[in-house]
A and B are shown apart, each in its own frame.
Chain A
C-alpha cells in the first residue's frame, strides 16, 4: 500500500477536529470570528491537501486498490465482526476529492456570506461536522460505517436547514427533511439486514466479492435488497416520492444549500448505487425502477422549476431534476456516467447556488440599508443585476450553459453520456428509448428554466426599487474567488470522461473499471456506432440551444412586474407554481391521516383510554378493588380466620398426599 494512502484517516479527522474546536469556541468565545474562520477553512484546506496526496499515492499503485484500512473493531457480535474501517479505491477517492474540494471552496465563500451572522461559530462547527460525516459516508468500508455517515449528514442537514431556528417555518423545514430522510433510512436498514442475512457479512469487499455466488440474477432477495437500498436513496437524494423536503431545505443559509443540498449530501444515493453496482446489475428490475424513477423525477421537477419565482427554489428543483439524471445513469448501468454527472453537477450547481447566494447577499444588504422588507430571494425583485454584479453574472452564465448542456461545457458531456447510455440500452428493450425521450424532454426544460432564471435575475430593468438600487454592489472577493474556481471546474471537468467518438475518451470509465468490473458480467455490452453517437451529440446540442433560445425569445424580462405588484397566476401556471400540489396531496394522504390517527387512536384511545384509563387508573382501581375484597375478608372474627386457615391446611394436605 502506498504510504500516503495510510494517511487517509487524517482527511476524516481534520474536519472533526474543526467541529470540536469551533463548537467549543461557539460556547465560550462566540465573538472570535477570526479564529473560527481560520480553523473552519483551515481544516478543510488541509483535508483537501491530504486528500490530494492520498489520491496521488493511490494513482501510483492502482492495482492494489481497494485499500481497506481497519482501525478498530466496533461491534464484534458472534459471527458478525463490524470494524471501523475506511476504504480507498477509485470511487471513494473521486468522491473524497469532490467532497473536500467543493467543501473547502464553500467554506471560503461562507466566510463572506455569513460575516454578520451572530451564529457564525455555530455555523462553521456544523459545516465541519457535516464534512466529517460526508467523508465517513464515502470512505466507509462497510455498510454500518457508511450508515453512520449517512445518518450524520442527515443530522447536519437538519441542523443547518433549521440554522435560523427562531423562524418557525425554518425549523419545520428542518423537521420535514429529517422525517422524510428517516423514511428512506428505514429502507437502508432493511437492506442491511437482508444483506447480512444473505451473505453473513456487511463489509463491502466481502459482500460484493461474494455477490455473484450468493445471489441469483434477477433473484427475489437481491431485488428486494436493491429496492430497499433505493428507498434509502430516494430519501437522501430527494427522488419521487420523497423529494419534497429538498425545496423546503432552502430555508437554510445559501452556502449550505450549495454544499449539502446540491453538491454533496444529496448525491449520497447515487454514490450508494454506484458502490453497490454489483447488486444492482444482478437485479435488472430494480435497475429499471431506479432509471424510471430518476427520469420521471428529472422531468417532473423540471416542470415545477419552470414557474418558481424564488431563485433558490428554481435551483432546488433543478437539483432534484439533475439528481434524477444521475439515477437514470446508474439505473441504466452507466455507473461511471452517474458519478461523472455527480462530479460536474457538483461544480456547476455549487456555482449556481453560490452565485445566487451572492445575489441574495447583495439584495439583502440593499434592503437592509433602506429598511425594506421585500423578499430578497424573489426573482421578480431582481432584474438587471448584470450591471451591478458583472462577475457574478458572468460566472453564473457559465454554470447555466454547463447545466443546459452547451457543447464544450462539462454538463454537456456528463448529461450526454447518460442519455447516450440510456439510448444504447434501448437495443435490449424499447422501454429505454422511452426513458431517453423523457430525459431529452427534461433537458429541454432544464435549458429553458435556467435561461429564465438568468434573464429575470440579471437582465431587463432593475425591479428592486430606486433607493435600493444605489446600494447594490458586487460581492467581496472572498465570495467571488471560490466562484471563479468552480467556474473553471464547470467548464473543464468534462474532459475526464469525453464521449467515445473523441480522442482520449472515457478516462473516468476506465478508472472505475476495477470497481464496476463484477457488474459488467451482468450488463449487456453496449456499442453505439460512431454515426449514432454523433447524431445523439447533435440532438443534445439542438435541445440545449432550442431551450435557451426558446426562453430568450418568449420571455420578456422587461415587462415583468415586481413581486409586490405582480398579478395572481392562473391555470397551469398556478399548478406549477404550487408544485403540482404535491405537498398538499402528501398532507391530505399522509400527514392528516397520521395526525388524525395520532389524535384519535393513539392519544384519545390508546393513551387516554387504554394506557391512562385501563393501565394506570385501572391498576389503581384493581388495587383498590382487591383492597375492598381483602378488607372484607378481614372480618376480625377469629373463627373466620381459623376456618380459612384450616381449609388452607386441608388443601395443603391434599397436595401432600
Chain B
C-alpha cells in the first residue's frame, strides 16, 4: 500500500470542509420540519465531526480513529432508537412534522 503523502495544508482544508458540512447539517436541522430529515441532518453533523477527527489523527495520533469508531457505534444506536421514537410519534399523531409536536408549548 503506497504511503499517502499529505501536507498541513490538506489538514486545514479538511477541517474547513468539516466545518462546512457541519454547518450544513445545522442549517438543515433548522430548516426542516420533517423529523426524519432532521434526523438525517444530525447524521450529517456526526459525519462532519468524524471527518475532523480523521484529519487531526494524522498529527495527533491514532486515538482519533478509535473515537470515530465509537461515534459510529453511538450513531447507530441513536438511529435505531430515534427512528423507533419517530415511528411511535407517527403512530400517535399521524404525522412527523415537528411543528405539530408542540407539547412543550408554554
A and B touch in the complex (CB under 8 A): yes
- A-B residue pair count with CB separations less than 8 angstroms: 32
0/1 string, A628-639, CB within 8 A of B gives 1: 001111111111
- From B29, B33, B38, B105, contact of A635 by CB (8 A): B105
Contact (A638, B101) CB under 8 Å given A646-B26, A646-B30: yes
Within 8 A of B (CB), among A615-657: 630-639, 642-643, 646
B99 in contact with A642 (CB, 8 Å): no
Secondary structure dominating the interface of A:
helix
Give chain A residues whose Cβ lies under 8 Å from the Cβ of B33.
639
- From A631, A638, A639, A642, contact of B106 by CB (8 A): A631
Closest to B105 in A: A636
- From B26, B30, B101, B104, contact of A634 by CB (8 A): B104
Give chain B residues whose Cβ lies under 8 Å from the Cβ of A633.
106
Most A CB contacts (10 A, CB to CB) among B26, B33, B105, B106 go to: B106
Within 8 A of A (CB), among B85-106: 98-99, 101-106
A634 to B38, CA, bound (A): 20
Give chain A residues whose Cβ lies under 8 Å from the Cβ of B98.
637-639
Give chain B residues whose Cβ lies under 8 Å from the Cβ of A634.
104-106
Looking at the assembled complex, report how far the CB atom of B98 sits from the nearest CB atom of chain A, in whole angstroms: 4
Contact (A637, B30) CB under 8 Å given A630-B106, A631-B106, A632-B106: no
Number of interface residues of B (CB under 8 A): 13
Looking at the assembled complex, report how far the CB atom of A38 sits from the nearest CB atom of chain B, in whole angstroms: 78
Closest to A646 in B: B26
Give chain B residues whose Cβ lies under 8 Å from the Cβ of A636.
102-106
B102 in contact with A635 (CB, 8 Å): yes
A330 to B98, CA, bound (A): 93
Give chain A residues whose Cβ lies under 8 Å from the Cβ of B30.
639, 642-643, 646
A631 to B102, CA, bound (A): 13
0/1 string, B19-59, CB within 8 A of A gives 1: 00000001001100100001000000000000000000000
A630 to B104, CA, bound (A): 12
Looking at the assembled complex, report how far the CB atom of B36 sits from the nearest CB atom of chain A, in whole angstroms: 13
Give chain B residues whose Cβ lies under 8 Å from the Cβ of A639.
30, 33, 98-99
Give chain B residues whose Cβ lies under 8 Å from the Cβ of A630.
106
Give chain A residues whose Cβ lies under 8 Å from the Cβ of B38.
638
A315 to B27, CA, bound (A): 97
A637 in contact with B102 (CB, 8 Å): yes
Give chain A residues whose Cβ lies under 8 Å from the Cβ of B101.
638
Looking at the assembled complex, report how far the CB atom of A638 sits from the nearest CB atom of chain B, in whole angstroms: 4
A638 to B33, CA, bound (A): 9
Looking at the assembled complex, report how far the CB atom of B34 sits from the nearest CB atom of chain A, in whole angstroms: 11
Give chain B residues whose Cβ lies under 8 Å from the Cβ of A638.
38, 98-99, 101
A364 to B101, CA, bound (A): 91
Give chain A residues whose Cβ lies under 8 Å from the Cβ of B104.
634, 636
A636 to B103, CA, bound (A): 6
Give chain A residues whose Cβ lies under 8 Å from the Cβ of B26.
646
Looking at the assembled complex, report how far the CB atom of B99 sits from the nearest CB atom of chain A, in whole angstroms: 6
Looking at the assembled complex, report how far the CB atom of B15 sits from the nearest CB atom of chain A, in whole angstroms: 14
A576 to B27, CA, bound (A): 95
A638 to B102, CA, bound (A): 8
A633 to B104, CA, bound (A): 11
A636 to B38, CA, bound (A): 16
Give chain B residues whose Cβ lies under 8 Å from the Cβ of A635.
102, 105-106
Closest to A634 in B: B106
Looking at the assembled complex, report how far the CB atom of A324 sits from the nearest CB atom of chain B, in whole angstroms: 76
Most B CB contacts (10 A, CB to CB) among A632, A639, A643 go to: A639
Give chain B residues whose Cβ lies under 8 Å from the Cβ of A631.
106
Give chain A residues whose Cβ lies under 8 Å from the Cβ of B103.
636
A635 to B100, CA, bound (A): 11
A26 to B7, CA, bound (A): 101
Give chain A residues whose Cβ lies under 8 Å from the Cβ of B106.
630-636
0/1 string, B50-85, CB within 8 A of A gives 1: 000000000000000000000000000000000000
B29 in contact with A642 (CB, 8 Å): yes
Give chain B residues whose Cβ lies under 8 Å from the Cβ of A646.
26, 30
Interface residues of A (CB under 8 A from B): 630-639, 642-643, 646
Top-10 shortest CB links A-B: A636-B105, A636-B102, A634-B106, A631-B106, A638-B98, A636-B104, A642-B30, A637-B99, A642-B29, A643-B30
Query: 13 interchain pairs (CB within 8 A)?
Result: A632-B106, A634-B104, A635-B102, A636-B104, A636-B106, A637-B105, A638-B38, A638-B98, A638-B99, A639-B33, A639-B98, A639-B99, A643-B30
Interface residues of B (CB under 8 A from A): 26, 29-30, 33, 38, 98-99, 101-106
Known pairs A637-B102, A638-B101, A639-B99. 4 more at Cβ < 8 A? A630-B106, A633-B106, A634-B104, A639-B98
